[in-house]
Amino acid sequence: MANLKEIAKMPERISGGHRMCAGCGAPIAVRQILSATKHDVIVANATGCLEVATTIYPYSAWKVPWMHSAFENAASTISGIEAAYRSLKRKGKVKKEIRFVAFGGDGGTYDIGLQALSGALERGHRFVYVCYDNEGYMNTGIQRSSATPLYASTTTDPAGKIRQGKQERRKMLAEIAAAHRIPYVAQTAIHNWSDVVNKATKAFEADGPAFINIFAPCPRGWRADESKTVMLSRLAAETGFWPMFEVENGEWKLNYNPASRKPITEFLKTQGRFKHLFRPENAPLLEKIQSNIDAEWERIKKICGAE
């Protein structure tokens, strides 16, 4: 189990002063993930908020070897690095144990980078891919991605007279990763540091590819209070909006099952991207969202054997 005192003694692998927005969930996710291994780490980073704001020339917030990849190929980059490492290790040119991790946002993972991710998982490289999911293309202007939830208002799917935000439900990416039959898949969220670290520890030690989808609120894109980031993450779990589970060698496990789930309105009302849903005429849309989440929650519980 994660030990906070031991984690606190570890050297930081990403520094403060990184220029991410106030309240951004991504650097919280990175710090938690990278605290889960004592081995040396090499990082590949897809284009996105995390990459842009941590490496503003001529500065870098990274204290580990780090490589910038395009939006679409972080998984290919890290798998190539991992393959080179294995070759050098076979030849006796590298002795130390090194872990490999790629970070990408939902735009660079759910959408643009899905092909490269799928290929790397299928090939069986030993690496961890972490998607920090802030539910949109925040770096380029708050456009919708396939991680954006139903009826959220974005710059490319704005709420108006004809359409009330995004019309499609979000993609279930962790399940797509699990379908590759890889050793470890997890869905977690930044408010629960012990859950994140425990899952990242398993991911780093997995004998093959591992995938972590971590909920990382974006106050700027969600039109939310920047001091409420952790609260937003907690509400996502407590309402069932973001189920927390893991798939270890094909075995599904639900990690958090609230005794009484909060209504989804408790989560939605904290964010300006959903404010249009609280107009009287849009009450049926709120009911639809709640119905969808109820059904999805029961489905996940059934898969995990937690009915």
The band of 162, judged by pLDDT with boundaries at 50, 70 and 90, is very high
Each residue's pLDDT tens digit, 253-282: 999 999 999 999 999 999 999 999 999 999
Amino acid letter, 244: M
The fold of the 4-304 domain, in CATH, is Rossmann fold (3.40.50)
Q: From start to end of the chain, where are the E strands?
A: 40-46, 66-69, 98-105, 128-133, 184-189, 210-215, 245-248, 251-254
pTM over 0.85: yes
Count Cβ neighbours within 10 Å for each residue of 231-268 and write b for 16 or more, e otherwise: ebbbbbbbbbbbbbbbbeeeebebbeeeeebeebeebb
* SS3 label, residue 27: helix
Domain range summary for the chain, segments of one domain joined by +: 4-304
Decide: 132 and 50 in contact? Cβ < 8 Å.
yes
Each residue's pLDDT tens digit, 16-71: 889 999 999 999 999 999 999 999 999 999 999 999 999 999 999 999 999 999 99
The band of 105, judged by pLDDT with boundaries at 50, 70 and 90, is very high
The band of 10, judged by pLDDT with boundaries at 50, 70 and 90, is confident
pLDDT at 67: 97
Each residue's pLDDT tens digit, 90-104: 999 999 999 999 999
* Residue 53 to residue 184: CA distance in whole angstroms: 29
Decide: 260 and 283 in contact? Cβ < 8 Å.
no
Q: Mean of the pLDDT values across residues 220-225? A: 98
